Structure 1
Amino acid sequence: MSSGTPPTPSNGGPAVPLVPTNTVTTASGLTVRTRIDPVLTVDDVVRQLCVNLKLKDQPSNFALRDETDELVTNDNLRRKIRAKVNLKLVNAPSREAMETAEKLRLRDDTNALKMTLFTLQKYIRASRLLEPEEQFAQSFINCSGLSDLIDVIFGAHGNTLAYALTAMQNLMELDYGWSSLDDAFIFQVVQILSSPQSLINVCRPATAILKKLVEADPMTAPGLQIAGSSRGTSVLPPGSVYRYGFSVVFEQMRKGRGFLETVISRLGSADTAMAQYSMMLINSLLSHASDTRWEEFIAELERLNVRKAVVRLMSSHTIEDLTSCILDFQANFIRVIHRKKTTPVDLEAEPSHVVALKGIWTSSQLSEQTDENGQLLKWRLLGLGSENIEEEFSDVGMLGLECLRKFIEGDPDFPKIIQEQLSRPLARRCPVARASNEVVEILSEHWAIFAPGYSTSTTFQPFFLDFYRVHSLATHFFVRMWSESGASTDDFARVAALVRSQTKVSLRMENVRPWHEVEHDFNACEYRTVRERQMKELEVEDDLLSKIPIRNLRAKLYKESYEFVRQQRIQCLMQGAWFINALPANSTSANPRRPTRPWRFLRLDPGMKYLHYVDSSIKFAIRSGLEDLPERIEVASISEIATGSCAAPPHVLRESDLPPTFPPVASPLSFSLLSAHEGSIADQIAPDQSRWADWTDGLNMLRRDGGHVSSKETAGFVQALTEIGLKIKLLDLSGEMVEIPSGLVAGPPPSNTDFFFSDLV
């Protein structure tokens, strides 16, 4: 390495430098031009600079950064030399961390504290992205910097608090160093978020901090060990940050007055990032809710009408940035509905179920009677088959009970409806409560509520988020079809088939249809029209597929098909692929330039923790493994996969050789990997539709709070595999002409226990 101006040949010819020339600026403001040999290590370069500049401190106290304060490492040194990047000789990360921690303790000068925090958030963020800056994080933690930062958070306001919270948020992206955060700190963050007066730039990092604490669940810790098969308690290594989780955070949330209400209100914020942060926190809470607090948490969300707030977001002008979050919420709500449907009604163990039944009975305005055999006649008056509530709701669980209650309590004319049915002969009465349960099954089938955590919807489903309201409409339609068709007890399945047919028609294209059209379809459609359409449907459909055992079989195959496609998508990520490095679609540059390295190869590591990549000016053969991929992106840092978000740079593909448009037009094959606090960390364009579907859905399925599908191709694969598997299974039955019953009735229990099961021979 040499300093000074590059020499010029004595013959007056052009200079031919052996290596590029860089500018290096010291902390004192001294600037020198120097040639750096790209074969040297960063330590060698720093050592020679200290010698040439006659610095008295040890070379180990210094480091190199570029103009953006990115640390120069052995991995990026050659790239910065070739690009002739201006460099700065600064304090080494470990030394910078110690000085930063000392400055945090001196809080007399507000402006100095603000600048210190601004620098801290930047360096801690870099320590997560670039491995060599682990020195900064380690030194900052070892110098009690974390406790000093917490003290600032407890006493700061305005932008100072925003910088402190952002620094804490960045520090928590590390998988160590913050296990000492206690309940007092969590409650302080809750209080900050609970205040409607808190600034947006304060609320964003505070929301991200709570989200991280929720996801730091002991059961999700990497390499978790279970101690004692009988107790099943998790054993975490000392200092593990996976010691919080939903229960710890929710306990502090309950103390913060109006916390959830304020978070949900911020879904309507004009600041898109704030709405996105709030949406991600709600999704994280839904995904990690503990069994002991689940019902209480869901009830609170329902009371605050979070689903209505999300539906409003669907029609918001900021929707492009929130699509993935909303699809995540839909997937989480499917989990909620499925869990309610599979939670049995238990009148002895669940007081809330008793309260629901009392509400149903009170709203019906009926009186208990006795039948001809002197037996109690109560729930049979509402249309159930017996007085055994647990048995009657065994297929629809708590969801069926809630739907019936909302249906009855939401209709002031219900007492007239039930009295009208009771005035008819027994065989002509519409069993309203049984009809309500059947509608729950029909809607569950329509929206594929087969198993928790599996959703193939690629579009918004506002009607699904209004499940109870749709249920009321469909149940009223059931009662009307019963009356208009003159049905009797034996016609229950026939009327249910009419409702199933009308449901498909009324809920079609729900991402674009207004609600009033759905109401019109259910309320104004005549029996003759529905019957004629259903008869045409029966000509092309097999009645066998509507039987309950077949529907249950389809649900099982759906789950297996989803998991198969998920594994296939993840395998595609592990194989890797070439993509185009894209430009933001909202770029303000009228003449975008072709990037020097427009191609990027991405590959997921076997541990599924990092996306490794390399940027190149041309595509070349990539060996198996990760040796050819020096850069990486942490999967945990990806909070959202946005699609259709960026444009191809000019003159990369043949079809882009035309003059570039302004502003750049987003490619339908583009996607962006978004971080919760620094925007896009990668903008890519896939070579074809298949690769785009593989990667967008594969990455969504990798995310801890993900699970939704964004491409119609993947959703189609899951549906096709389900239907093929179902037909193959049915070949064994239909080929033998086996009669499949619509349901199975269990016989009476044994009168005693004096029996055993014989071994099959």
Structure 2
Amino acid sequence: MDSINVSELVERMGSNEDAVRKMAVFKLQSNIGDPSFADVFILEGGLSKLRNLVLHASGNTLAYSLTSFSRLLEVDKGWDFVNPDVVERTIVTVKQVVEQVVSQPLVNILRGAMSILVYIVSYPYAAGDRLSNPDNFGFRALKPAIAIHPQFLEMLVSKLSSADHALCANSMQLINSLMRDAITSDSESDWPKLVKRLQDLGVIDAVYDLMQSNAIQDLSQPLLEFQALTKVLLRKWRDLPVDLEKPDHRRALKMIHIAGNPEKPATPTENGNDDAHKKQQTPEKWRRLGFESESPGWEFENVGYLGMMDLSNYVRTMEDTFQKTLLEQASKSLHQRCPVARASLAVTSILVEHFEIDKADPDDAKFQLAFESKSNIDKIFRPLILKWSVLHTAGMQAFFRLWQTTSAEADDFVKIYDLVRILFEAVLGSALRTKGLPEVQKELAGFELPKLRQLQMELLELTYEDTWGQHLRQIKDELSHEALQFVKEQRIRCLLAGAWFPAVSNDDSERNGVPSLSSSFRYAKLSHNRRYLHVGDFETRGDADPAVETLPERIDLSTVTSVTSNVTAQTNHSDNSSTETLKTKQNGAPNTKITISGHLPSSRPNTASQSQSHDHSHSRNDSSAARPHHRKASHHQKEITLLTLHPQTQTLASEWLDGLLMLLNQQPITNETSKLIEMIKDYGLKIRLLNVRFDEMGDNGPGEGPEMPSREGVDEEFWYDDFGG
């Protein structure tokens, strides 16, 4: 300000020569953003001359004047010329600026003019209670000028495709300002008309393309603000109750009814009452469409007019599908029909929840950009919200598909609702900013039910984990113990049932490290008191299993010191799971070996199981990959092989190896048993979770039971038992 003579600058702005005025206003635009300079400029009477240039100048002089006036408003100066005290001059100024935007092709003129309009439209939002007459600002101030120049909005939307990102950002900001002022005003007539007009001009598609383009960095602020305003707009429609006394609401509902291709009632009798006859002929006028009653207005309570808009749009765009679906449902019994209207309202509710419409705030863009770095900026953009109607239609199709796939009935409506909600979270929640809409539609249409069920259980478990924490971990520990005991009993019962095994040949020959098997058979069975393992060798395998008392040999389990096996673990890299494999001979016959080692009891003579001691050396060689489980052996007796079994199937090997280990109070080692334990534990947890409702957790977390019911109206011997206490 020291190097510029403000008085001289103001005087030059009033010169009769355009070159002098242009140079003066060119210098002004560079300094007017300084509040102290702006104060001196206004005191010197420069504001009136600047306004005169804005109204009457042309070319670069006009461009510099618009920029200067815009920067003056930016520092909250010069509002006297758009103040209610000079209403007439304000309206003239606004009209003139609109005229410049429409008629001047120069980009720099457009930038300045749009900036001025942004400040004028945004002023009520920024000034708040300082406005004495808000009708002279905001969208209402532009309405007369837009009425004279209706092509203004069309031109504004067309600039969104401009290669000049600065001009595109100005257009975006002005559209945001118009929407913000319109949807936050109290008038119920202005904002729907403006929004409808902008939608018809293609603003949604234009902004959607910008959000998915590489220009996102340059346009992040206005685009994110548009996204926030879209959420505010959706919430405003959601909060608008359906009132059938309003003509447009009544027309929308009537259109839905007519699109359903209702049957025409028969002609009434000559003396009959026409209205009564119609009611008699169409007793399910609205229930046929999927409403719960014949008074559908109240069913829009949770989703408001937004739900009616979504249903109307679906019926209008998918009329053939809508009619075909109604015919298909009409052929089913009442409890098997999928309620189309309720499904539509449910999908709307899911979208409202997914996009967090209840948390909509016009200032979201400022806070989000303040906390997000450029590398994470993609995470805060959700362009799919602009395709609300398309997502709603895709959700309806997914609802029908899941209803049919699961053979759902009327009582299962909430379950299908949950599946569709999880489907949207899975597909939309993981969608990147640049993910195309066709790809999203394809995923919604092709998501498999088993995978959806798996996600449902994972989310349910996480939900309860967050809510119950320590209590849920305690339940898991209990279930792990119960599952282990259950499998232990199952494995031991396999031993109690007995099993046949091929016997080792008498010549005890070994080829290539593999003992040869004879054609005889060995039968092993656990005694009923679970203290002895009875064994017998047979030349042939009979039709009936031998009784325990007919088996000549028995092993006292108290003398067993270890059970080992040559079952090896092989990792499947495709699914990161491990499975045991049976060792096989070269001819493909399995050669899995279970070796039971121990010492002979001193109280009785040596049993015939000693004859198998020659297998001891082979056991030590073949079980090198196994995990031995030892009892504490006596230091005075030598450990020998008491018995060797050769199971020929993986299941039999798992049952007997882990059964013997668990019988000796040791941990199982095969993956088949571990998977069985995990499966039982998971099923037990799921059953417990599915039997607990969310509202049983109490308002303050776990530990609070449901509310105690009163005894009003109870005249019998009823009582209340709090099972959760």
Q: TM-score, normalised by structure 2?
A: 0.57
1:469 corresponding residue in structure 2: 390
- 8 Å contact 1:368–1:376 — kept in the other structure? no
Alignment counterpart, residue 348 of structure 2, candidates 440, 443, 446: 440
Structure 1 segment 204-353 matched on structure 2, within 5 A:
204-217=111-124, 220-221=126-127, 224=130, 235=132, 243-289=136-182, 290-292=185-187, 293-348=190-245, 350-353=246-249
Change (3 A) 1:392 1:133: closer
Query: Equivalent residue of 1:430, what SS?
Result: coil
Report the AA paired with residue 509 of structure 1.
A
CA contact (8 A) 1:463 1:510 kept: no
1:154–1:317: structure 2 CA closer, same or farther, 3 Å change rule?
Answer: same
Partner of 1:100: 12
Q: Aligned residue for 2:39?
A: 134
Q: Distance in 1 between matches of 2:458 and 2:280?
A: 45
- Superposition deviation, residue 220 in structure 1: 4.7
d(CA) in 2 for partners of 1:365, 1:727: 41
Residues 728 and 372 of structure 1: CA distance in aligned 2, closer, same or farther (over 3 Å)? closer
Match of 1:531 in 2: 453
Distance 1:135 1:537, change over 3 A: closer
Q: What SS is found at the alignment partner of 1:377?
A: coil
How far apart, in 2, do the equivalents of 1:320 and 1:275 lie? 13
Letter in 1 for 2:186: D
Judge which range, 447-456 or 258-267, deviates more: 447-456
Equivalent position amino acid for 1:496 in 2? Y
Q: CA deviation at 1:182?
A: 2.2
> Please, which runs of 5 or more residues in structure 2 have no aligned partner?
266-276, 369-378, 468-693, 710-725
Q: Give the aligned partner of residue 601 of structure 2.
A: none
Contact 1:430 1:479 in 2 (8 A): yes
Distance 1:242 1:432 in 2: 44
Judge conservation of contact 2:110–2:167 (CA < 8 Å) in 1.
yes
Residues 191 and 542 of structure 1: is their aligned pair in 2 closer, same or farther, counting only changes over 3 Å?
Answer: farther
In the TM superposition, residue 333 of structure 1 has moved relative to its aligned partner by 0.8
Q: CA deviation at 1:97?
A: 4.6
Corresponding residue number in structure 2 for 1:619 = none
Secondary structure of 2:214's counterpart equals coil
Q: Of residues 404, 427, 440 in structure 2, which corresponds to 1:483?
A: 404
Structure (1/2) with the larger helix percentage: 2
- Counterpart of 1:415? 323
Q: RMSD between aligned alpha carbons?
A: 3.1
Contact 2:73/2:116 (<8 A) preserved: yes
Secondary structure of 1:205's match? helix
Deviations 1:225-264, CA, capped at 9 Å, x for gaps: xxxxxxxxx647xxxx995222212342233222222111
Q: Do the aligned residues in 1 keep the contact of 2:242 with 2:305 (CA within 8 Å)? A: yes
Do the aligned partners of 2:698 and 2:705 also contact (CA within 8 Å) in 1?
Answer: no
| Shift in CA distance, 371/155, structure 1 to aligned 2, threshold 3 Å | closer
CA distance in structure 1 between the partners assigned to 2:121 and 2:113 by the alignment: 13
> Which of the pair has more CA radius of gyration?
2
Counterpart Cα distance in 2 of 1:223 and 1:400 = 34
1:737 shift after superposition: 2.2
2:463 paired residue number: 541
Contact preservation (8 Å) 2:256, 2:312: yes
Is contact 2:314-2:393 (8 Å) kept?
A: yes
Report the equivalent of 1:692: none
Mapped partners of 1:156, 1:98: distance in 2:
16
Matches within 5 A, 1:632-711: none
Distance 1:727 1:252, change over 3 A: farther
SS in 2 for 1:346: coil
Given the superposition, is the C-alpha separation of residues 119 and 539 from structure 1 closer, same or farther in structure 2, using an over 3 Å criterion? closer
Task: Give the letter for the 2:197 counterpart.
Answer: E
What is the 5 A alignment of 1:592-631? none
Which residue pairs with 1:156 in the alignment?
Answer: 57
Equivalent pairs: percent with the same residue? Answer: 32
Contact 1:194 1:257 in 2 (8 A): no
State the AA in 2 paired with 1:408: V
Contact 2:156–2:171 (CA<8 Å) still a contact in 1? Answer: yes
Post-superposition CA distance 1:75-122 (Å, at most 9, x none): xxxxxxxxxxxxx5x53x2x225413432xx2xx33333223323333
The aligned counterpart of 1:364 is 260
- SS of the equivalent of 2:380 reads coil
Code of the residue aligned with 1:281 in structure 2: it is L
Which amino acid in 2 is paired with 1:190? V
Does residue 705 of structure 2 align to residue 737 of structure 1?
A: yes
What displacement does 1:364 show?
2.4
Q: Distance in 2 between matches of 1:730 and 1:368?
A: 52
Secondary structure in 1 matching 2:357:
coil
Q: Normalised by the size of structure 1, how large is the TM-score?
A: 0.54
CA contact (8 A) 1:344 1:394 kept: yes
Q: 1:149 to 1:732 in 2, by over 3 A?
A: closer
Three-state SS of the structure 1 residue aligned to 2:249 is helix
- Output one character per residue of 1:512-570: Cα deviation in whole Å (capped at 9) or x when no partner: 4322221111112233432343234333334999xxxxxxxxxxxxxxxxxxxxxxxxx
Q: Is the 8 Å Cα contact of residues 31 and 37 (structure 2) preserved in structure 1?
A: no
Q: CA deviation at 1:401?
A: 0.5
Q: Deviations over 1:365-391 (max 9, x none)?
A: 223669997774322211011232320
Gaps of 5+ in 1: 1-70, 73-87, 225-233, 546-725, 742-761
Matched residue, 2:77: 175
CA gap of 1:532–1:514, structure 2 versus 1, over 3 A, is same
